[in-house]
Amino acid sequence: MVREIIKNETIVQYLLGALPEAETERLDQLSVADDEFADTLMAVEADLVDAYVAGSLAAEDSKRFLTHYLLTPRRRQKLDLAQALHVFGDQSTIVGSTEASNDAPAVSDSRSRFASYLAAIRALAAPKLAFQWASAS
């Protein structure tokens, strides 16, 4: 089987709804039929969400991210998780630098952010587990 190489930028445009309908349908089908493409799609999607959270998307891509990508609850959950990870990462750096001065409020804030992070992971994992349990019966 000959594997088609699809550029990451094309996948980003697919996720942002910026491709022609025919190309979108082709990639929809490929995402179901080709495990390797599905894996690449998930990786590019994670990078896209991380880029949005970091504020490094171009203005037009940010607009499409808000108006197209975030249309589904599942994608909004992915954004929530990425934001929690981003904040937790920032807080870990702050806590690490303030532990020497025994700054208890920073540690407490970090713990609450970590709890948010864990809640986001549970929210993303729950539908998958429910599906697995339903399939097993």
Evaluate whether 46 touches 15 at the Cβ level (below 8 Å). no
Q: At residue 117, does pLDDT exceed 70?
A: no
Q: At residue 96, does pLDDT exceed 60?
A: no
Query: Model confidence over 33-49: pLDDT tens digits?
Result: 999 999 999 999 999 99
- Record the pTM: 0.63
Domain ranges of the chain: 1-71, 72-137
* Residue 107 confidence (pLDDT): 46
